[in-house]
Chains A and B, each alone.
Chain A
């Protein structure tokens, strides 16, 4: 991505995100009271985040791979199950992948 495209992407996406926030403050609350609207919004958030885990954890370009990221994700999941705070989860995952790569795997 060129520098211009990168800046345009950053600014357009930021503007869109701000418009979404402001929109919530401006529209009547009753408009969003529909169970279906809140359900779709909730589920879209879940689907996007899960999909990003798969892409970030298993994709290498257009190839699905198993490398040091996979054991790192397993460690992260274990930490989350033990209610570790966010920053610790992220650091443990990074440390796991870094350690495996330092020993020459993944």
Chain B
């Protein structure tokens, strides 16, 4: 059986989807290991990966739990980070044209990577194939490697001796790195650093992160709108092309 479509654009979309899936799936190992190190057991770690399935939100949730934050702070942080997937859903939905259970499946695999591959294709047929190959491919591989990391993480012992706390910080840095190009993003990043560092000594874990989000909302709502700025931060139609979760 020839599983590859005959249309060259669709074949290219399949190839891109597969390579993004492998690259993204592999670092599920780091999430699995970090989650277990943060005190989230194997069961909840797998539930997070299978049900939440959004890298940034998953890392954030275990970060707050690992820092002994409250459930409300953990939920709020993970949910705010998942907000961008709403934009992605609105972008890919007209391309997919699906109804019923397929729409639920499409929603669950609407993430940075599947959206990026879908919008990068030259025609709607290739976009659909790219979306599904990437979304399902990342879903399967990400969860498989999270399981591997969680099982390995259990056997590691003290996570600090292995530098896993630093690995978590580096993971967040790698996630934000491609989003820092626009000047306004750099301004918000600077304000977020100041707000977070200023609040850490005075409020419970998880709250400084939400305060940083509040700063971003204020800047986003009240910053002047100019044609240049609009062009500079326009990621809703153009998520980053690199596989970054």
Residues of A with Cβ closer than 8 Å to B? Answer: 1, 3, 5-18, 20-29, 31-32, 35-36, 38-59, 61-64, 68-69, 72-73, 76-77, 80, 85-87, 89-99, 101-102
Chain A residues near B172 (CB-CB < 8 A): 49-50, 52-53, 56
Q: A98 with B162: in contact, given A38-B87, A73-B169 (CB under 8 Å)?
A: yes
**Judging by beta carbons under 8 Å apart, are A48 and B110 in contact?**
no
Chain B residues near A23 (CB-CB < 8 A): 86, 89
Question: What distance in Å separates the Cβ of B138 from its nearest Cβ neighbour in chain A?
Answer: 13
Residues of B with Cβ closer than 8 Å to A? Answer: 23, 26-27, 29-30, 39-41, 44, 47-48, 51-54, 56-57, 59-61, 63, 65, 67-68, 71, 74-75, 77-94, 103-104, 106-108, 110, 160-177, 179-180, 184-185, 188-189, 191-193, 195-197, 200-202, 205, 208-209, 211-213, 215-217, 219-221, 223, 225, 230, 233-236, 243-245
**Judging by beta carbons under 8 Å apart, are B86 and A24 in contact?**
yes
Q: A14 with B47: in contact, given A46-B185, A55-B63, A86-B174 (CB under 8 Å)?
A: yes
Chain B residues near A96 (CB-CB < 8 A): 163, 166
Chain B residues near A27 (CB-CB < 8 A): 86, 90
Docked CA distance A89–B177 (Å) = 11
**Judging by beta carbons under 8 Å apart, are B84 and A41 in contact?**
yes
21 of the cross-chain contacts (CB-CB < 8 Å) are: A13-B52, A16-B78, A18-B107, A20-B89, A36-B221, A39-B233, A43-B219, A47-B191, A48-B80, A49-B172, A50-B189, A54-B192, A55-B196, A59-B200, A61-B67, A68-B166, A72-B170, A89-B170, A94-B164, A97-B160, A99-B163
Question: What distance in Å separates the Cβ of B180 from its nearest Cβ neighbour in chain A?
Answer: 7
Q: A25 with B185: in contact, given A14-B48, A17-B82, A39-B233 (CB under 8 Å)?
A: no
Chain A residues near B92 (CB-CB < 8 A): 25
**Judging by beta carbons under 8 Å apart, are B162 and A94 in contact?**
yes
Docked CA distance A10–B43 (Å) = 10
Docked CA distance A91–B167 (Å) = 7
Q: Tell me what chain B mostly uses at the interface: helix, strand, loop, or mixed.
A: helix
Docked CA distance A36–B164 (Å) = 37
**Judging by beta carbons under 8 Å apart, are A16 and B75 in contact?**
yes
**Judging by beta carbons under 8 Å apart, are A6 and B166 in contact?**
no
**Judging by beta carbons under 8 Å apart, are B220 and A44 in contact?**
yes
Which single member of A24, A62, A73, A95 contacts B201 (CB below 8 Å)?
Answer: A62
- Not counting A48-B77, A76-B174, a sample of 4 additional A-B residue pairs whose C-beta atoms are within 8 angstroms of each other reads A40-B217, A41-B87, A45-B81, A49-B56
